Amino acid sequence: MPRNTDPITTSVWVRPPRSRRGQPSLSREQIVTAAIELLDAKGLSGLSMRRLGTKLGSGATSVYWYVANKDELLELAVDEVMGEVDIPDLEVVGWRAAAGGVVQGLRSVILRHSWITSLFGIRPAIGPQAMRMSDRVVTVLTAAGFEGIELAYASSLLMSHAIGSATTDSALHTATARSGKTANELVEEMGPYVHSIAADYPSYVKWWSENKNMDVEKLQEDSFNFGLERLLDGLEIWLEKR
């Protein structure tokens, strides 16, 4: 019989919970926490049911009590880390700061758990933590004046900025960790090559030469914040024009 690959019907969130009779000593919370620790340390390729069981000191059998397979385990792990997204109080800071806070919070979560980016969109984000964030985003954007499909457009725009920024930042962190050098040192190493192609790409090389001493890691943070503020500016202007 072919495996059911429907992302909705196979979601751990729609599967009826198991009876607690004969439940092993481990809790689902312990299993998910251990899985996240492995994912943070070794990435997606470093997580297996056997390795997780060894980490828990109980073998894979206890893990399978709570999850049917690795896909369900990853679904639980993704939702758990989504609970780390800080959501500012709309009534205190207003819609713009609240929306920006959610975007900043999501970016921070991705930077702490870079493995999550390749899982976005694979399974529906319908766990309690993801739904909590989605519900708050709808509340914030509704308060701003968005409605209907336009609210979905605005939400997608903001979330895409967080995911895109964090994905490229995580890639740079990986590159620097592997090289044992800082981002600024890697940029400095590019100097001879960049100057060698100046005749073919004069505008880029001129700009690079004038700005090569910038702090690359600070640039990442500043670039993200600049983009976020311009997105919020644009949404605010669009609301006013409408």
Predicted local confidence at residue 132, as pLDDT: 95
Nearest by Cα to 143 from 83, 187, 199, 93: 93
Indicate the pLDDT class of residue 32, thresholds 50, 70 and 90: very high
Question: How many other CB atoms sit within 10 Å of the CB of residue 168?
Answer: 13
The predicted structure's pLDDT at residue 194: 93
Please compute the mean of the pLDDT values over residues 10-17 and round it to a whole number.
75
Q: State the CATH architecture for 28-82.
A: Orthogonal Bundle (1.10)
Report, as an integer, the average pLDDT of 219-223: 93
Residue 191, number of CB atoms within 10 A of its CB: 12
**With 80 as the cut, is the pLDDT of residue 182 above it?**
yes
Residue 107 near residue 220 (C-beta atoms within 8 A): no
Confidence (pLDDT) at 2: 58
How large is the average pLDDT for residues 188-192? 90
| Confidence check: pLDDT of 16 > 80 | no
What is the location of CATH 1.10.357.10 in the chain?
90-180+212-241
Query: 90-180+212-241 falls under which CATH superfamily?
Result: Tetracycline Repressor, domain 2 (1.10.357.10)
CB proximity list for 230: less than 8 A, separation 6 or greater = none
Buried b (16+ CB within 10 A) or exposed e, 49-83: beebbeebebeeebbeebbeeebbbbbbbbbbbbe
How far apart are the C-alpha atoms of 235 and 146, rounded to whole Å? 9
User: For residue 20, is pLDDT > 60?
Assistant: no
Q: Could you tell me the pTM of the whole model?
A: 0.87
What are the tens digits of pLDDT across the range 140-152? 999 999 999 999 9
Q: What is the pLDDT of residues 77-136, one digit of tens each?
A: 999 999 999 889 999 999 999 999 999 999 999 999 999 999 998 888 899 999 999 999
Q: Is the pLDDT of residue 4 over 80?
A: no
Confidence of residue 8 (pLDDT cuts 50, 70, 90): confident
State mean pLDDT over 10-16: 77
pLDDT digits (tens, 9 = 90+) for 65-80: 778 888 889 999 999 9
Helix (H, G, I), strand (E, B) or coil at 123: strand
Question: What is the pLDDT, as a whole number, of residue 53?
Answer: 87
CA distance 104 to 136: 14
Binned at pLDDT 50, 70 and 90, residue 60 comes out as low
What is the arithmetic mean of pLDDT over 213-226? 91
Q: List, by residue range, all CATH 1.10.10.60 domains of the chain.
A: 28-82
